[in-house]
Chains A and B, each alone.
Chain A
Amino acid sequence: GESVGLHLPTLSVQEGDNSIINCAYSNSASDYFIWYKQESGKGPQFIIDIRSNMDKRQGQRVTVLLNKTVKHLSLQIAATQPGDSAVYFCAENISPGGGADGLTFGKGTHLIIQP
């Protein structure tokens, strides 16, 4: 079936460097995408989202890029800090009416920040 998936299971970067986490989705009907961060033993924490009518959105130290042509989503984290170490999930949703649809999550990328 259609699903959201991640390219790399583990990404290791030096503290202070920028990191890019990628995600591919296959459902062309998806119109809303979210990145979540999950620290060990905790629930997913919302980072940033983007709707399908946009191709870029920026937050504090994070940028999400959406390429609908190739169905690709990326999360860029600038100037990584030790606290950025976590598993990052992309998730997608089809919400024609903004309703109660559940999110479809990817498998997750474990980001490790090296001191």
Chain B
Amino acid sequence: EPEVTQTPSHQVTQMGQEVILRCVPISNHLYFYWYRQILGQKVEFLVSFYNNEISEKSEIFDDQFSVERPDGSNFTLKIRSTKLEDSAMYFCASKGLLSQETQYFGPGTRLLVL
């Protein structure tokens, strides 16, 4: 069964450093998403991406964040200058046109900012 994959599974970084989280969505899916989940809290929407541009973003997704689809398979989330409060699980999700509104999530990247 096709699934969303994410790398790395864990990332530790120093405050102020840049990180790039990578995702490979399900092939033939056209909508891509990033969510985050701070430990013990609910999953929060960050950004959606379609047709090579951002479709929607939340208040969390400020200028420190950016997304890119550098090639036909990867979808990346970049945090330019990490803060302590960026420590969280980051989930990528994808959705295909034919699957209506069902979003399928990856296993997540656990980011720890020290």
Q: A residues touching B (Cβ–Cβ < 8 Å)?
A: 32, 34, 36, 41-46, 49, 89, 91, 93, 95, 98-108
Contacts and interface: CB of A to CB of B under 8 A. Distances in A.
Contacts of B50: 99-100
Contacts, number: 68
B103 A103 contact: yes
A108 B45 CA distance: 15
Given A95-B101, A98-B100, A103 B45 contact: yes
Contacts of B49: 100
A46 B102 contact: yes
Contact of B58 (A42, A46, A102, A108): A102
3 shortest A-B CB distances, which residue pairs?
A: A102-B45, A100-B55, A43-B105
Interface residues of chain A: helix, strand, loop or mixed (majority)? loop
Contacts of B102: 34, 46, 49
Interface string B92-114: 00010000111111111000000
A101 B56 CA distance: 6
Interface of B: 4, 31, 33, 35, 41-50, 55-56, 58, 91, 95, 100-108
16 contacts: A42-B108, A43-B108, A45-B105, A46-B105, A89-B43, A100-B49, A100-B50, A100-B56, A100-B95, A102-B33, A103-B35, A103-B43, A103-B103, A105-B43, A107-B41, A107-B42
Contacts of A32: 101
Given A46-B103, A99-B50, A102-B35, 7 more contacts: A43-B105, A44-B105, A91-B43, A98-B101, A100-B31, A100-B48, A102-B47
A105 B33 CA distance: 14
Nearest to A43: B105
Given A43-B107, A102-B56, A49 B101 contact: yes
A10 to B, nearest CB: 13
A49 B4 CA distance: 19
Nearest to B45: A102
A44 B101 contact: no
